[in-house]
Amino acid sequence: MTADELRKKARLWADADPDESTSSAVNALIRQDDLSALSDLFDGELAFGTAGLRATVGPGPKQMNRAVVLRTTWGLVQHLRESQSEASSLIVVGFDARHSSEALARDVLAVFRAAGMTVRFFDEPVPTPLVVFSATHLSAALAVVITASHNPAEYNGYKVYGAGGAQIVPPVDRNICDAAYRAGPARDVPAKYVHDGLGTAGSGTHGLGTEAERLSAEMENAFRAAIVAGLPAAVGDSEIHVAYTPLHGVGGDCMLRALSQCGYSRVDVVSEQMAPNGDFPTTPFPNPEEDGSLDLVVELAQRVNADLVLANDPDADRLAVAVRDGNALVTLNGNQLGVLLADSVLEQLNEEQRGRALVLSTVVSSPMLRVMADSYGVRYESTLTGFKWIFACGTALEREGKELVFAYEEAIGFCVGGAVRDKDGIGAGCAVVRMAAGLKAAGQTLNHRLRDLYQRYGLWVSCQRVVQLEPTVSLEQVERALDQLRDAAPNWDGIPQSVVIDYRDGAGERPAWLGRTSLVEFRYGESLRVLIRPSGTEPKLKVYVDLRAADSELPDAEDQVMALAENYAVGFAKALERAVSD
pLDDT of residue 85: 53
532: domain CATH number?
Answer: 3.30.310.50
Phi and psi at residue 162, to the nearest 5°: -90, -175
Q: Does residue 70 lie in a domain region?
A: yes
pLDDT of residue 490: 80
Q: Does residue 260 lie in a domain region?
A: yes
Q: Mean pLDDT for each 10-residue chunk of the chain (582 residues)? A: 93 95 96 95 90 94 96 93 72 97 94 91 97 96 96 96 93 92 85 44 47 87 95 85 98 97 96 97 92 96 98 98 95 97 96 97 96 97 96 96 97 94 97 96 94 92 92 86 89 77 94 95 91 81 91 69 92 91 83
Residues 359 and 347 sit within 8 Å (Cβ to Cβ): no
Same-domain status, 109 and 55: yes
Same-domain status, 313 and 355: no
Same-domain status, 286 and 367: no
Pairing state between β 308-312 and 242-245: parallel
Same-domain status, 567 and 515: yes
Could you give the C-alpha distances from 67 to 15, 59, 62, 101, 238, in angstroms and in order?
11, 8, 11, 14, 50
Q: Does residue 217 lie in a domain region?
A: no
**For 377-502, where are the alpha helices, taking DSSP H only?**
387-398, 425-441, 446-457, 475-487
Same-domain status, 282 and 425: no
Single residue among 414, 430, 456 that ends a domain in this structure: 456
Same-domain status, 537 and 490: yes
Same-domain status, 291 and 342: no
Single residue among 189, 209, 229 that ends a domain in this structure: 209
Q: Give kind and range of the element (H or E) at residue 143.
A: strand 142-146
pLDDT of residue 197: 37
pLDDT of residue 196: 43
Q: How far apart are CA 432 and CA 437, in angstroms?
A: 8
In three-state secondary structure terms, 232 is: coil
Same-domain status, 307 and 344: no
Q: Does residue 5 lie in a domain region?
A: no
Single residue among 394, 426, 456 that ends a domain in this structure: 456
Same-domain status, 81 and 193: yes
Same-domain status, 131 and 188: yes
Phi and psi at residue 286, to the nearest 5°: -80, 50
Same-domain status, 90 and 76: yes
* Range(s) of the domain holding residue 449: 336-456
Q: Does residue 296 lie in a domain region?
A: yes
Q: Does residue 517 lie in a domain region?
A: yes
Q: Does residue 29 lie in a domain region?
A: no
Same-domain status, 388 and 263: no
Domains identified in the chain, total number: 4
Phi and psi at residue 274, to the nearest 5°: -80, -40
Chain centre distance of CA 346: 24
Q: Does residue 489 lie in a domain region?
A: yes
448: domain CATH number?
Answer: 3.40.120.10
